[in-house]
Structure 1
């Protein structure tokens, strides 16, 4: 009997609008971050709609966690691809992404209208970001750095990132993690080997991967040569979407390195938006839309949000559609799996560095700030409170109490 596949050619293709509506409902209700999103997807597409079985779904999740970019969004794109081709992939992405992107852009425009005087509630969002990033470190550390070698690698990566606080320092830490992981780390189990059947041919997949690498190489050249802020914005967010392993909160240091030192977004506004992103459903990568909207350069607003949003998600489209035809062969290589262990440990280190600066240093200014952040962490980690509720609660308390 032929094993199930993570993306099989379905008997029935679905229209664009139907796929869009299915994912729009998920985009409006999927609170809780990437892990929760994968749970929502499993319930919807494995249990309820039976688009694929448990083994096929686990196989698809493994692929998307292997790639850079937002794993939950890539799973959604792949599911849309399987039911409607590239149009279905676009429909699934739009449905899942638009709700949070629109909410964050509206939030950003509201901040801009306030003229920069946001009050203590803005500081509350920064305090909430401390708790959210600490929760991410707690969970990712236990999962991705469960032993001494990987914990050591994470701390070393943090030291490198803090000693060289630029994008190149972060990339150097990731590359070093891959090389060290490939050379020294051991895998305890191999990935399941379910074959991948997809409507995308290997030649098409190769072409899409070529486009991915061409854009990664040529966009910086075009941005420098043209001097166009629009191209610079697209390049910055395309690189962030291409180079972030681990998804979710790991994108924080990469985006911060792109927009804050350049003066596009102030550090306070950056952290406030990051805190607000925890209170909306859908993928955390829609934080990019907020950053594009509040940029001090032109275009900003809705146009800037659109450029940033397309830039950060375009790599996911190219990678998931390009890699699917080759995934079964690629995943068999043990050296690749060992390298991924090192990369995952390194990104925990990058998040640790970002947790200290700018998250902690900008938000914790007093004993009251620390106490509120500690309470928020307690609610998130031990009481399992919804992130949106904790963020809203911290912002309100800070606005009313902290002076």
Structure 2
């Protein structure tokens, strides 16, 4: 039924056993142990990119935890609207809760496939998926410090003796593997919990943290009594990879975020005016004087200044010049400016122009009439 899982797992194990079998021998327990370890690491390497997506998705959810809480509080009585708003927030910011669970879900069929393949190495079996009869016999005869890879602590005595092992050697090999696997499970969970955002903490989160920190490691110790040594090797190598991978990925993501923050700060610093520098004066209000060295536009009129004629320019036709005389009713003219050189001053302060004085003289004698 699950042959599509069993065959790939069996094939990868066969490849690594072939590699290490040429170094340590086909029936060597070290060759089979290393084959199981590198089988796990190969599968985890295949799932590396989904794991990175999982970490990014989880960090995005933690960043927008306040927004999620607001939606949950606002639509507490309307589950349908709450789900719609949550989906809208996820689409806008590109994160999904399913992306954070995918790598963990992918490990379940791998665990099931490896468990089934290792359990299928039984005396009398002529094949085990990619392994032929010789390969099955090689696994059964392989010993790791006197214990077979198919043995476990609570195994019935007759089965243990049929595999050529004793309970003491199985306990000596299994217990250290169980303890190491349990400790690594706790360290992996603690490293993940330390990276959580406190603002995103909820009652459910606190419960899950306690489960991963204490219950799961304890479960490894308890179920280790029923797990074959080969499966304990899988658990140990899987947790070792997970812990190293988490540290590597989180360090890389932290470095990327620091670079983005540094780039944003540098950009703001570049655009901001330097200390003591005057603000930009290129933009002036209408009517303001031009900056030094800037020529005014052609035909431009200076604001607030009177229109004056330049020296030597001719006045426009019919234009009244400043200071011209205005005629008075008695025939004399009152000068609004300075008196003419030939003008005669009147008793009222007015002056007769030189032209009026000339007309009053006798044309023949040139004398002035009295």
* TM-score bucket of the superposed structures, by smaller chain: under 0.3
Larger Cα-atom Rg: 2
What is the TM-score normalised by the length of structure 2?
A: 0.25
User: Higher relative contact order by CA 8 Å / sep ≥ 6: 1 or 2?
Assistant: 1
Higher helix share: 1
